[in-house]
């Protein structure tokens, strides 16, 4: 990934280019941003730039180093990232090789993927994903080697906030005694959760979310949506490109209609139809099920805002707004709170690989009882 492949952020990109051109590459940098910031993408572009043999204002994209960076297989770029379901010691080496392969394909196939996307990609569980003590040992082992092909050895640590305490301590020691030409890039969405001792040893590069204009331009390039739909999505996504693209999908997937129909069926207590709907949801792929639940949570949030009489600040429009207003008439804030909790729980059970059909059916019956109690 090159700088030019990342929308916006010209200020940060310029800063990074200048620091390399003037030979002031800090050995430990923290690319911090809110959820949805393109800080991992920027770290990848920066690593590619550092390795490039013909760099100007951006990596050339065609030299041997760039060709490897594009595929995320440059031997001097190392990755550390959180995973769950780490196998026992005997299988550890095999697992490591396999998960690294998956990580590289994930970066290629979902270049702006977030933590959820990664978990779905390799089939793990968010709640248990950590950077283990073993990973920090690997880092130390890697650091003992000289760079193979590049002037720099780059170590990208994604989500350092998920480091196991013993891994943090290992990393801390390395940051204290930097090896020559090694560049650590910590890529965090929760820098406030990092140890102060780690923070104080890194140079912080703040990566802002995209502006509405930048997001709008990007969506126009990437999607088929018309301008009114795009401006609606831009308002909802608040600078988060990943979320914006998911919202585009949900608009295209007709979540709005499905959700309205589902709630109506719950209200009418049509159990036969609820069973059919549960089967329909069961047929969605895992990511789609999750996206649909997220869409449901957003809609419930709109209902809360409507009930709290904050209607003027909420973001739904047109058809959606009509549904929110109608639905609010039969709901109350405690009811929506309960419904929200149930939808959240359903997401949790799905993540733990429960049967989607049973989860959605159970959820539908409980929602019926809340929306239209007997
Ligand atoms: Zn190059």
Query: Tell me, what's the pLDDT at 89?
Result: 58
Query: Tell me, what's the pLDDT at 12?
Result: 96
Fold of 3-206: Rossmann fold (3.40.50)
pLDDT tens, residue order, the chain (374 aa): 999 999 999 999 999 999 999 999 999 999 999 999 999 999 999 999 999 999 999 999 999 999 999 999 999 999 999 998 666 556 778 888 889 999 999 999 999 999 988 988 888 776 678 888 888 788 888 877 788 899 999 999 999 999 888 888 888 888 887 777 899 999 999 999 998 999 999 999 999 999 999 999 999 999 888 888 898 889 888 899 998 998 887 766 788 889 999 999 999 999 999 999 999 999 988 878 988 998 899 889 888 888 887 655 555 555 667 888 889 899 999 999 999 999 999 999 998 888 999 999 999 999 999 999 98
For residue 65, give every residue at least 6 positions away whose Cβ sits within 8 Å of its Cβ, in sequence order, or none. 48, 51, 52, 53, 74, 149, 150
Residue 46 CA to ligand 1 centre (angstroms): 12
Residue 26 CA to ligand 1 centre (angstroms): 21
Give the strands of the sheet with 203-206, arranged side by side.
77-80, 153-158, 182-188, 28-32, 203-206
Residue 58 CA to ligand 1 centre (angstroms): 9
Q: Are 193 and 161 in contact (CB under 8 A)?
A: yes
Tell me the backbone φ, ψ of residue 96, rounded to 5 degrees: -60, -45
Cα maximum dimension of the chain = 72
Residue 145 CA to ligand 1 centre (angstroms): 23
3-class DSSP state for residue 104? Answer: helix
Residue 18 CA to ligand 1 centre (angstroms): 17
CA atoms within 13 Å, Cβ hemisphere of 123: 5
**Which of these CATH numbers, 1.10.645.10, 1.20.272.10, 2.60.40.10, 1.10.10.60, describes 254-371?**
1.20.272.10
3-class DSSP state for residue 270? Answer: coil
* Domain edges within the chain: 3-206, 254-371
Q: Are 100 and 229 in contact (CB under 8 A)?
A: no
Query: Tell me, what's the pLDDT at 316?
Result: 54
Residue 62 CA to ligand 1 centre (angstroms): 5
> 3-206 and 254-371 share one CATH topology?
no
Terminal Cα distance for the chain, rounded: 57
* 8-state DSSP, 83: B
Q: Are 164 and 130 in contact (CB under 8 A)?
A: yes
Q: Are 172 and 197 in contact (CB under 8 A)?
A: yes
Residue 187 CA to ligand 1 centre (angstroms): 23
Residue 200 CA to ligand 1 centre (angstroms): 33
The Cα–Cα gap between 252 and 214 comes to 22
3-class DSSP state for residue 360? Answer: helix
């Amino acid at each position: 990934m090159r700088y030019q492949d990342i929308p916006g952020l010209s200020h940060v990109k310029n800063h990074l280019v200048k620091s390399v051109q003037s030979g002031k590459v800090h050995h430990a940098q923290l690319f911090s941003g809110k959820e949805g910031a393109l800080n991992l993408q920027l770290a990848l572009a920066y690593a590619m730039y550092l390795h490039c043999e013909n760099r100007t204002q951006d990596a050339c994209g065609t030299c041997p180093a760039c060709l490897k960076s594009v595929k995320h297989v440059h031997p001097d770029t190392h990755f550390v990232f959180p995973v769950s379901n780490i196998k026992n010691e005997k299988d550890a080496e095999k697992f490591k090789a396999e998960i690294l392969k998956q990580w590289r394909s994930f970066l290629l196939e979902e270049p702006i993927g977030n933590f959820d996307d990664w978990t779905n990609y390799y089939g793990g569980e968010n709640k248990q994903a950590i950077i283990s003590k073993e990973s920090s040992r690997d880092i130390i082992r890697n650091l003992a080697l000289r760079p193979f092909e590049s002037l720099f050895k780059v170590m990208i640590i994604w989500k350092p906030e998920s480091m196991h305490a013993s891994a943090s301590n290992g990393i801390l020691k390395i940051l204290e005694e930097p090896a020559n030409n090694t560049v650590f890039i910590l890529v965090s969405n929760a820098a406030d959760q990092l140890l102060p001792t780690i923070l104080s040893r890194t140079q912080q590069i703040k990566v802002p979310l995209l502006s509405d204009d930048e997001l709008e331009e990007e969506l126009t390039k990437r999607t088929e949506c018309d301008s009114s739909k795009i401006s609606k999505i831009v308002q909802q996504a608040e600078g988060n490109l990943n979320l914006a693209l998911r919202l585009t999908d949900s608009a295209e997937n007709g979540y709005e209609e499905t959700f309205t129909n589902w709630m109506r069926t719950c209200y009418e207590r049509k159990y036969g139809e609820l069973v059919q709907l549960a089967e329909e949801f069961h047929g969605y792929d895992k990511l789609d099920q999750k996206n649909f639940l997220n869409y449901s949570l957003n809609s419930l949030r709109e209902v809360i805002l409507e009930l709290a009489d904050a209607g003027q600040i909420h973001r739904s429009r047109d058809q959606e707004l009509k549904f929110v207003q109608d639905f609010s008439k039969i709901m109350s804030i405690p009811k929506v709170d309960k419904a929200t909790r149930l939808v959240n729980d359903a997401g949790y059970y799905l993540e733990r690989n429960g049967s989607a059909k049973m989860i959605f059916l159970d959820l539908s019956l409980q929602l019926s009882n809340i929306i239209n109690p007997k």
